[in-house]
Amino acid sequence: MKDRISDDFSDHRRLDRIEEKIDRLSEVVVLLARAEERLVSLENAKIDNTDIIRELDRRTDRLENLVGINTRTVDSVHKLAWAGITAIVTAFIAYIVTQSTKVI
């Protein structure tokens, strides 16, 4: 009888240990599922960020092209303005020279 009680007690302890291990395993499985969810979330965020970076890169390329066009336009207007200023100054000097020769 004592052996039977002893066997029942040891079986009960073994079952308790097995239950504890199963509980720990289920906790680990839950943690793994959460980690997987985080990884999936991070992967989706990475994909979104990659798309955003690609779009920004395209926009930067377009802006660089526009800046190049604007730079050429400003350079042309700048040269034209200096040509106009030179023409006006030359005409003014010619007018003064012409007027001064008439006075003499």
| Angstrom distance (rounded) from CA 67 to CA 56 | 16
| Angstrom distance (rounded) from CA 91 to CA 102 | 16
Tokens 């008439």: give the residue: 102
The confidence score (pLDDT) of residue 13 equals: 87
| Angstrom distance (rounded) from CA 94 to CA 81 | 20
How would residue 104 be classed by pLDDT, with cut points 50, 70 and 90?
low
DSSP 68: H
pLDDT tens-digit map of 18-74: 999 999 999 999 999 999 999 999 999 999 999 999 999 999 999 999 999 999 999
